[in-house]
Structure formats: C-alpha cells, structure tokens
C-alpha cells in the first residue's frame, strides 16, 4: 500500500524508502497515542540498508514508521509479525483498507487455502476502491509459497476441467507432469508454483471472467501506486477547452519525455502502446500524447469539441480545411509549417474533422503520421 504524492528523493541521505520496508503515508507526525521523537535515519552508502542513529531513551518502537509517514513513503507490512503489523496499521485511521485505497494505495490479500475466501475478499475490495486511481481497477495476490503460508486445497465442489486455456486464450494447459508424477488441482491443490495457472482457472470458475480481468490489471495498478509515491499526480481529466500551439497544448508538449509528461499532466486514463490518453472534463472525446521510438512526444491530439487548431474544431466541415491544409495520407490533412517544423494535423471522417493534432517535424512523414494517428486512437 502506498500514500498519495509521496516525496522521495533517493540519495539525499535521509530517505525512508529503504527503511524497514516501505508503509504508506498521509498520517501526521505524532499520530500515535504518545508523542514520538523521530529517530534520524539514513542509508548505508554501500548496502543501502537503513542506519538508525542517536537512539535515545525517548525512542518509540514505531518512530521509524512515523518517519516513513513524514516523507510519504510506502511501507509493506506483510512481513512484519502480526502484532507489529497491526500496531503499524493502527497509526492510520480506523478502516485502514478504505483509507489506503483513498490515499491511492494498493491492497493485496494472500492467496491462502480457500479460493472462496479469496473471492470474498475481492468482492469486499470492490466496494471500497477509489475510482480516481486507475479507475478503481487492479487486484493482486500474495503466494508466499516459500514461507509457511497454506496453499489452496484440493476441491471436489467446483473442479476445473483439463485442458483449459489461459486468460488471453493463447496457451493451452493440461495436467502438469514431473517424470511419473502428475499434478491435478482437483486432487492435489496448489502443490507448486506452476499450478497457479490452475488456481486462476479455479477463481474464474467461482467468480467468472471479471475477477481475472481485475487481477490482470493488478501489476499496472501496483506500478501506478509507486508512481504516486514518487510524486506523480493522480490521474485527472484535462480541461474541456484548449487551443493547440506549435509546441503542443498545456502540459502535453512535443519533444517531452514520458517522465516529464507524467509529472506535468499526471497519470493518464489509459496507456495503450506508445500513447498516454487523458479524459476531458465535462465533455466527450479525449486528449492523447503519442511517443516516438525514443520515448519523446511526437504527436499531441484531441477529439474533444472544445479544442481548436488554427480556428478549426472537431465537427468542422472538411471544406474549411482547404484554405489551411492539404491532404497528406489517407484521411489525414496537414497544415502549414509552424515554428520548429511542427504542423497541425486534421483527421477527417464523413466529411468533417474528427480529430485535431500537432505533430513534430519527423512525425509529418507519411508512414509516421499514419502510425501516430492510429496509435492516438481518437
């Protein structure tokens, strides 16, 4: 789990992201029941392990966790003992899972011995997720097979059928065999890591396709949680109106890097292929940034009716383009050369402009232009 807008500066000599593990934040200093004197901590320059200095009689055993709170780091409590983990969580408000989700965090249960229990926890999480973060999607699991965690038991009440196909339909799974030993989930349960394919199939048998759809967004939800922990703003829609300029529009700038765009515009609503796509507040359509092979913005585009490029808006009849642009490739028109070699581009459908864009000089080449228009997906 992780807090929103964590401030983390690796190497500043006072990091908490390497201390103890790393628990989320947002709690104010001294949020435990007694005043806490924060212990100065730093990182060993070689091992990067935490070093605690100046331990005083006023030391409170949760001072390091409070220090994590102060710098908005993320902390993983799964490998604390139960008592310590519960006490650490008590530093949050009651209803910690709801608070974690509202802070932009990520909650993952252990797979455990009962797939029915796992499905129940998934259903419970759906009620408290915050759609502001990755549209409220993404769920994971912890196997802990190399520890003392119990694994899913054999089942006869909801057996899976062999062979079965993977989530994406590309892989066919039959019973796993090691020499003469044949493994079957219905008789053996999850007896080794390789049988988590069967476990996922069992979850689908119990809860249908939606649970796997959610779990296959879990990795992305986790990565986005860490983006926020490093200060990337949570996703928000772009304004409903705007005017394109030679360099882009608002924080979506031609030539910008993926990292620069994330920090400037926040997390996008979707990231298909080389594209960051943002919703538009109070309007239909979207705004997109398409990156080139070097990871820099080559096209900024919008299909929202409140946007303009050289006086042209989505919905403008194609005859209005004849004074401003020429057909470049397919249904894409290019305007005059702008500062820095950029050009406005217009995608036409059914006799009207459907999408506006500004493209960098290299992206005006026919093949690149057509590919970027497809990638924008507007």
Cβ atoms within 10 Å of 1's Cβ, excluding its own: 26
Closest CA to 356 of 323, 332, 339, 327: 332
pLDDT tens per residue across span 243-273: 999 999 999 999 999 999 999 999 999 999 9
Please, what are the domains in the chain? 115-229 (no CATH), 242-376 (2.60.460)
305-362 pLDDT per residue, tens: 999 999 999 999 998 888 889 999 999 999 999 989 999 999 999 999 999 999 999 8
Is residue 298 within 8 Å of residue 254, measured between CB atoms?
yes
DSSP label of 4: T
Q: CA dihedral in degrees (79, 81, 86, 88; nearest 10)?
A: -60
pLDDT tens, position by position, 13-40? 333 332 222 333 333 333 333 333 333 4
pTM metric for this prediction: 0.73
Q: Which tokens in the block code for residue 289?
A: 């940034």
């Amino acid at each position: 789990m992780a807090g929103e807008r964590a401030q983390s500066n690796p190497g500043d000599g006072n990091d908490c992201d390497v201390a103890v593990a790393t628990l989320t934040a947002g709690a104010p200093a001294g949020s435990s029941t007694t005043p806490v004197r924060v212990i100065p901590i730093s990182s060993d320059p070689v091992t990067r392990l935490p070093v605690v200095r100046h331990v005083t009689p006023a030391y409170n055993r949760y001072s390091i966790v409070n220090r994590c709170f102060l710098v908005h780091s993320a902390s993983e409590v799964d490998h604390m003992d139960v008592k310590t983990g519960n006490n650490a969580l008590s530093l949050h408000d009651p209803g910690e899972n709801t608070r974690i989700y509202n802070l932009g965090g990520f909650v993952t249960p252990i797979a455990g011995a009962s797939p029915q229990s796992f499905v129940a926890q998934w259903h419970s999480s759906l009620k408290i997720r915050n759609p502001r973060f990755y549209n409220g999607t993404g769920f994971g699991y912890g196997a802990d097979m190399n520890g003392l965690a119990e694994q899913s038991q054999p089942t006869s009440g909801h057996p899976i059928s062999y062979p079965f196909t993977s989530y994406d339909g590309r892989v066919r799974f039959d019973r796993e065999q090691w020499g003469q030993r044949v493994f079957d989930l219905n008789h053996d349960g999850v007896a080794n890591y390789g049988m988590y394919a069967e476990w996922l199939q069992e979850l689908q048998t119990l809860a249908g396709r939606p649970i796997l759809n959610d779990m296959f967004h879990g990795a992305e939800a986790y990565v986005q949680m860490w983006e926020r922990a490093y200060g990337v703003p949570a996703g928000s829609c772009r304004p409903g109106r705007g005017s394109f300029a030679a360099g882009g529009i608002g924080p979506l700038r031609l030539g910008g890097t993926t990292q620069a765009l994330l920090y400037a515009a926040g997390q996008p609503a979707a990231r298909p292929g080389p594209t960051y796509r943002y919703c538009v507040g109070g309007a239909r359509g979207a705004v997109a940034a398409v990156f080139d092979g070097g990871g820099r913005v080559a096209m900024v585009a919008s299909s929202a009716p409140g946007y303009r490029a050289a006086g042209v808006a989505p919905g403008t009849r194609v005859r209005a383009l004849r004074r401003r642009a020429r057909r470049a490739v397919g249904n894409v028109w290019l305007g005059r050369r702008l500062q820095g070699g950029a050009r406005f581009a217009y995608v036409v459908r059914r006799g009207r402009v459907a999408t506006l864009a500004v493209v960098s000089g290299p992206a005006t080449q026919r093949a690149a232009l057509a590919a970027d228009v497809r990638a924008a997906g507007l």
